[in-house]
Amino acid sequence: MKYIPLGTGSCVPDYRKNSSGALLEINRKLILIDCGTGILHTITKTDYDYKDIDAIFITHLHLDHINDFPALLFALKNDPACHRNRDIQAFGPTGLKEYYKKIKELHGETVVSENYKVEIQEMSNSELEYGPIKVSSQKTYHTKNSIGFRFENDGTVFTSTGDTGYNENVVELCRQANTAVMECSAPQEYVKKTHLSPRRVGKIALEANVSRVIVNHLYPVMDKIPMKEIIKKRYQGKIEIAKVGKIYTI
Ligand SMILES: [Zn+2]
Ligand SMILES: [Zn+2]
């Protein structure tokens, strides 16, 4: 498995970080996890091609996680170099089907192709098989329907929380993961209950007994915070701060 962050920031504009999004290459499938502002253009800085994306997994419908979704559909339809004829599978929280319906109402045939369909599947505390990959989701502590994802393939486990505060579902989601990507929005004194601080990341990583943590969804204030040192007070495993475009092997 390979994990490539495309956006490590939040809703706050920052051309170096973008909003949320990442590629996951797993068993010859190219998966996009979240689709926030800026990530679509950033794919062109990597060795990957946006036209090759097989499936999209959306954690919740906040714009910093979904704003590039209609832009992706528009690009696939109108890029003269795109000859797609296989369906796109999109997985996400309750409400994603309605969201997609609204996109179609607003943008009509400019985002809809005769050559492929967008197949939406909504998830909450769910499990499914995506080819040989086992995917499960847990409801997180953020919006009414927000979810995090867990991907298991050949004994390797990768998890991604999306936006969340601390709850038991998130610990369960990350349980024994080889790599757990966690949001880490702001320091404890600023952060809302519906987001994680470095202290909360350390607590979840310890309780879930993960091998490696990669933190993302960083507000600008995090540039000045010794995140690793704070997480290390509770969690002794490997800690990394997600970098846009870097390839993490799992
Ligand atoms: Zn967010
Ligand atoms: Zn959010």
Q: What is the reported pLDDT for 93?
A: 98
Q: Could you tell me the CATH number of the domain that includes residue 167?
A: 3.60.15.10
104-111 contacts at long range (C-beta below 8 A, 24 or more positions apart): 106/70, 107/70, 107/73, 107/74, 110/74, 110/77, 110/78, 111/70, 111/73, 111/74, 111/77
- The residue range of the domain holding 192 is 2-249
pLDDT for the residue 44:
97
Hey, how many other C-beta atoms are within 10 angstroms of the C-beta on 117? 12
pLDDT of residue 139: 98
Mean pLDDT along residues 238-248: 98
64 CA → ligand 1 middle, Å: 5
The ligand with the least distance to the CA atom of 9 is 1
pLDDT interval class at 88 (50, 70, 90) = very high
Taking the centre of ligand 2 as the mean of its atom positions, its distance from the CA of residue 68, in whole angstroms, is 15
Nearest ligand to the C-alpha of residue 216?
1
7 alpha carbon to ligand 1 midpoint, in Å? 11
For residue range 206-234, what is the model confidence (pLDDT) as tens digits?
999 999 999 999 999 999 999 999 999 99
- Six token digits for residue 125: 């505390």
Q: How many whole angstroms from 61 Cα to the centroid of ligand 1? A: 9
The predicted-structure confidence for 163-204, as pLDDT tens digits, reads as follows: 999 999 999 999 999 999 999 999 999 999 999 999 999 999
Return the pLDDT at 134.
98
Q: How far is the CA of 172 from the centre of ligand 2 (A)?
A: 20
Distance CA 96, CA 116 (A): 18
Q: Closest ligand to 10 CA? A: 1
Mean pLDDT, the chain, integer: 97
Residue 173: the pLDDT is 98
Q: Enumerate the β-bridge partners of residue 135.
A: 128, 151
Distances (CA, A) of 239 to 85, 132, 227: 40, 29, 9
Q: Per DSSP, what are the bridge partners of residue 37?
A: none
d(CA 179, CA 157): 7
Domain count, the chain: 1
